[in-house]
Structure 1
Amino acid sequence: MEMSRFKVLAETGIMSRPATRLVMAAQNYASDVTLTYNGKTVNLKSIMGVMSLGIPQDSYVEIQANGEDEQEAMAGIVDYLKSEGVVEQVALDAN
């Protein structure tokens, strides 16, 4: 299992375009990938699940990958998020 915690930097949060592109990035991997925000966890490969979270700017989220390509999945998703300026990675115990 791979897990990372992020602070959302994008002015629009993780909504519409960032959410869609994040889901598309997650769909490239066989591993189960989840997104947790405010105590609720959804499948990161589901646009409806991600959009249902309503993740605003300056919030904290966790992404977890579990499966045969979990390291590659986490690395690819982190690369996408950072390259788009959507998030910054933080320590797992950060608020």
Structure 2
Amino acid sequence: MPVAVWVLVAVLVVSALAGAAAVWWERRRPSSFTRGGDLAWWGLLPAEEQEAHDLAALDAGESAERLAAEKARQAAERAAAINVLFRP
């Protein structure tokens, strides 16, 4: 048999073994994604509590955005002041 056929067979065998090993590994140690295990509690909450939780999370996100914008503004002002000192 020509060498190219042996190389092709070897590549196919290695690919099949790698695929089987990947399937085995994923079944042995699944990823952290689960279809409802972590958020099953969410569906048990009343709508009012879900809304309150959502609003609290949105408020926390908005305050974090405001804080980040303020820190970015302060950093830009500091950089401009340093630039004025060293490049008049």
Higher radius of gyration, 1 or 2? 2
The structure that is helix-richer by fraction is: 2
Query: TM class, shorter-chain normalised?
Result: under 0.3
Q: Whose relative contact order is higher, 1 or 2, with alpha carbons under 8 Å and at least 6 apart? A: 1
TM-score after normalising by structure 1: 0.19
The structure that is strand-richer by fraction is: 1
